Amino acid sequence: VTEIAGAAAVVLLSLPDGDASIAVARDIAAARPRRAGVVVDTSTIGIDAARSAAAALDAAGVAYVDAPVSGGVAGAEAGTLAMMIAAEAATVELLQPMLAAIAGNRFHVGATVGQGQAMKLLNNFLSGTAMAATAEAIAFGLDHGLDMKTMLDVLNASSGQNTATSDKYPRRVLTGTYDAGFATRLIAKDVALYERRVAASGARSAVGAAVREQWRRADAALPGSDFTRIFDYVRDSRRDR
């Protein structure tokens, strides 16, 4: 970290959790000599962790850009990631040429650190909900003799269509590859971050609480798994009492 901070004017982070981002932010802030003046954090770490990382860098005169991404491994390889950027407009404009190389879809969602995280958490909550709900719906159909491919074709031409039915299930579940490249533990972490933040605001989150618990159980049952394995978990456990 010290070597990178001394060589690069802009440092991009992509880390698994808030503790990692905060630790790296502190290392960059403490680096001497230091060339880094801007840190772009593409990690999904939650609002509180992003603010802690930003505070550590701000004390050293380093700008923190809250910029989580969505799109997975395929999006990263194709340069088509969606990036949700929270930073001052002038900083965003300065970074546009660099960010365009990795994120074909860039959205300036606000100027305050944490707003990028809020956007990403609500996105991943919806994604996680779709994955879990689709698993239950497909399992229901299988119980009634329906073919999975036929169900997906019907859903994708109907009001039940979502990113799980249009992408993850046809490409990763139906094929038996289960290789979306996103870990069950990470979606469980993201949904938990979302639900806890809702609770902290004093609002109710009945759906969030249910989805969080479903992913928590799936992660416990299938450690180290790809998140598309939620189908196996739901199919095999839905009749447990």
Active site residues: 120
**Residues linked to residue 228 through DSSP beta bridges, in sequence order:** none
DSSP string, 8-31: -SEEEE--SSHHHHHHHHHHHHH-
DSSP string, 77-107: HHTB-EEEEES-HHHHHHHHHHHHTTBSEEE
| Residue linked to tokens 């609770």 | 199
Exposure b/e, 103-129, CB count within 10 A at least 16 = b: beebebbbeebbbbbbbbbebbbebbb
Q: What are phi and psi of 63, to 5 degrees?
A: -80, 140
Q: How many CB atoms lie within 10 A of CB 84?
A: 27
